[in-house]
């Protein structure tokens, strides 16, 4: 097989691996039977989802609120950290701790989630924090900051520093350079960092499992507790709902970014 055909074949298999499970989830959300065998078309699982599945929706809105709060906080802190490192690199601020900061940034990428979850649980227990909504938000902020920082810093890495130098030559202060030069040019990467952190927060199970207290449940934990007693088609319905929402939001943001920038 020629290299070009092999690459196309590998790409095709990869797309199958990614999208066939999603197609199966969507398909069986309309299956009239609970068994993994197609028996006929129905909408009863969606009716059940929107009329009787109160626990799922409570967990869903918990996940949304956690994701919004943690992603916003992580994006702000990650952006500030990226700009600080950019300042250090370009000699505007001198610091001897930037190497250590880079080490702390890369560390969460290589440490298993279960270790981070246990560490956060021990940390909250040491401080006598009551496990619940607030500890979930803090945990999600913790593991999201490195991702947001790297996304924003990658934009700064390719940023033309001559624009910053020109602003200084024209008499701009550091605050003016920050808010009138850097941040406006970083808006696309800041939006991307927020969306990445939001996705990581919505998707997280392992770390949330350790830091969630009684009575506080996110959607991944709720789904896990449900599938222990068998796969309910209602799970397929909420998954289809989230897939459709993700696709619509993705297209909307793409149009928005193109229109603004």
Q: What is the mean pLDDT of residues 125-138?
A: 91
Q: Report whether pLDDT(4) > 80.
A: no
Q: pTM, whole model, 2 decimals?
A: 0.83
Domains and CATH numbers, the chain: 53-230 (1.10.3720.10)
18 band by pLDDT with thresholds 50, 70 and 90? confident
Closest Cα to residue 200, out of 85, 78, 82?
Answer: 78
For range 15-29, the mean pLDDT: 88
- Nearest in space to 30 (alpha carbons), one of 216, 246, 252, 233: 233
Per-residue pLDDT at 210: 92
Helix (H, G, I), strand (E, B) or coil at 33: coil
* Structure-token match 């909420």, residue found: 238
Residue 163, CA atoms < 13 Å, CB-side half-sphere: 13
Query: pLDDT for 235-249, tens place per residue?
Result: 888 888 888 888 887
C-alpha 63/C-alpha 202 separation (Å) is 6
**DSSP of 188-207, one letter per residue?**
HHHHHHHHHHHHHHHH--HH
Q: Which of 128, 147, 148, 144 is nearest to 208 (CA)?
A: 144
DSSP-based three-state secondary structure for 31: strand
Condensed to tens digits (0 to 9), the pLDDT of residues 66-87 reads: 999 999 999 999 999 888 887 7
Q: What is the dihedral of CA 68, 73, 76, 81, to 10 degrees?
A: -140
Mean pLDDT of the chain: 84
Tokens representing 221?
């934990």
Instruction: Give the residue among 193, 145, 168 at the shortest CA–CA distance from 91.
Output: 168
Give the CB-side neighbour count of residue 204, counting CA atoms within 13 A: 34
- What pLDDT, on a 0 to 100 scale, did the predictor assign at position 123? 92
DSSP, res 41: B
Please say whether the beta carbons of 145 and 78 come within 8 A: yes
Q: Render pLDDT for 164-217 as a digit per residue (tens, 0 to 9).
A: 778 877 777 777 877 888 888 888 889 889 988 998 999 899 999 999 888 788
Q: How does pLDDT run across 34-63, given as a tens digit for each residue? A: 877 788 888 888 888 888 888 888 999 999
Of 218, 247, 227, 229, the residue nearest 67 (C-alpha): 218
């Amino acid at each position: 097989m020629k290299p070009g055909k092999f690459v196309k074949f590998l790409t095709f298999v990869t797309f199958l691996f990614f999208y066939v499970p999603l197609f199966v989830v969507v398909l069986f959300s309309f299956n009239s039977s609970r068994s993994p065998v197609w028996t006929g078309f129905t909408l009863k699982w969606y009716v059940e989802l929107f009329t009787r599945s109160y626990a799922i929706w409570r967990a869903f809105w918990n996940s949304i609120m956690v994701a919004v709060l943690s992603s916003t906080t992580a994006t702000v802190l990650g952006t500030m950290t990226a700009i600080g490192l950019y300042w250090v690199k370009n000699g505007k601020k001198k610091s001897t701790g930037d190497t250590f900061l880079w080490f702390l940034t890369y560390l969460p990428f290589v440490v298993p989630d279960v270790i981070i979850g246990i560490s956060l649980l021990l940390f909250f227990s040491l401080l006598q924090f009551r496990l619940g909504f607030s500890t979930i938000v803090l945990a999600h902020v913790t593991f999201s900051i490195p991702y947001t920082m790297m996304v924003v810093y990658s934009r700064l890495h390719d940023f033309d520093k001559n624009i910053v130098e020109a602003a200084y030559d024209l008499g701009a202060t550091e605050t003016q350079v920050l808010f009138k030069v850097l941040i406006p040019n970083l808006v696309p990467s800041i939006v991307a960092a927020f969306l990445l952190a939001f996705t990581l927060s919505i998707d997280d199970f392992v770390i949330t499992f350790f830091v969630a207290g009684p009575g506080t449940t996110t959607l991944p934990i709720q789904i896990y507790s449900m599938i222990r007693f068998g796969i309910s088609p209602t799970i397929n319905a909420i998954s289809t709902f989230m897939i459709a929402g993700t696709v619509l939001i993705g297209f909307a943001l793409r149009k928005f970014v193109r229109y603004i920038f």
